Amino acid sequence: MNRIELRGVIVPSEYDSSWAEGYIAKGIIIPESRFRSMLASANKKEPLTVYVNSPGGSVFAAGEMVNAVREWKAETGQPVTVVLGALTASAASAFAIMVADQIKAHSNAKMMFHGAWTVSVGGAGMHGDTAELLEKINADIKTRLVSKYGMSPETVTEWFSEGREGWLSASDLVDAKLASEIISDASDVIEFAPDALGEIENRGLGIAAFLKTNTESEINDEDGETDSGDESGDGDGDTAPDGEPEDADTPADVDEPATDSDDPADIGNDEPAAVIDPTAEAIETARQEARQIALTESGDVILELRSKLKIEQETARKLQSERDQLRAANDKAVAALTKANDHIQRLLNGGLSFSASIENWQQALAECKGDYEEARRKYPDAYRAQREQDKTSRK
């Protein structure tokens, strides 16, 4: 398959260095220049697939990636399909919509758009210029969403409002016509063994999923009693709410019609456990926690990389300063040598001439085989004497 991957935080080309290779290999960061190298190696005779799983990053680095893909498409005439992994956000989302001829999304894909942001240092004018730049960046993305994908201008404007974000699931992407296809999982249900659920909780994994339980088995608590999910224990008919044994002949508990209660104790054991559907609140909490963890980890990595980059830049500046000093010393030495050589040449062409002594200008011309300029340069005294003699003769 003709495929390249865009994984991790999008960073400028200055991060494409040996000290950052481990982060690049693990998919933590993706320098713009590294992406261009992968694109240059892609097969130009086949359509291209770009797999994206990135929280975003540098707007301008992502813009250069967009330019590279557009040039590749113009050169090859091949279409580009963007496949969305679990997360495509910020600058990565902008990249996707700018280059894709079609977008496909995995069933668990999430795509996010928001306004560009940065940090500026300066006065009111500086901050005003920065705000104007950010709005220009936002305008490019908003225009694309509205013009190519037919998104509602009001919706897009809301996404790019201060502090807002526009999140889209795979189905949302298809409904909005941003994606043409959902790449479905082979199974619609994730099955967990009963003992695996406790392990998941112990590890602190907030998983929002559909859990299919075995309708013929029961999950027992540590005391070996059936856990109905209600501390009162009134769900199994074993005891009354006050802890006293219930009368098995009492018809009230047998014939009472089912209610819409959400309490698991109200569901009889002969009813299938079926599917536990997590609430919207739980899903939102899990999403926020996962995003916060991802952002924190990405931020820590970027801070570490920036620290290493600063050290490398300081070393480079020191080496450049040393090179400049050596170059200046070399230029000074060359100038001194040139000056000394010119002085020697003048001496050799003048008083240190080892040619036969001449007495007049005619002999000087003869010595130089009639070359007037050479005779004048080598025998200036004879030349001046001849000029004085000519002046006297004319008088």
Mean predicted confidence (pLDDT) in 7-14:
94
What are the structure tokens assigned to 218, written together?
Answer: 């029961």
**Residue 352 resides in a domain:** no
pLDDT at 376 over 80: yes
**Residue 176 resides in a domain:** yes
Q: Is there a single domain that holds both residue 127 and residue 264?
A: no
Q: Is there a single domain that holds both residue 14 and residue 145?
A: yes
**Residue 255 resides in a domain:** yes
**Residue 269 resides in a domain:** yes
Q: Is the pTM of this model over 0.85?
A: no
Residue-level pLDDT at 43: 95
Q: Is there a single domain that holds both residue 169 and residue 29?
A: yes
The answer to whether the CB of 115 falls within 8 A of the CB of 130 is no
Distance between CA atoms of residues 226 and 219, nearest Å: 7
Distance between CA atoms of residues 387 and 389, nearest Å: 5
* Residue 148 DSSP class: T
pLDDT at 383 over 90: no
Domain of residue 264 covers: 216-273
Q: How many residues does the chain have?
A: 395
Q: What is the mean pLDDT of the chain?
A: 77
**Residue 130 resides in a domain:** yes
Q: In the chain, what percentage of residues exceed pLDDT 90? A: 42
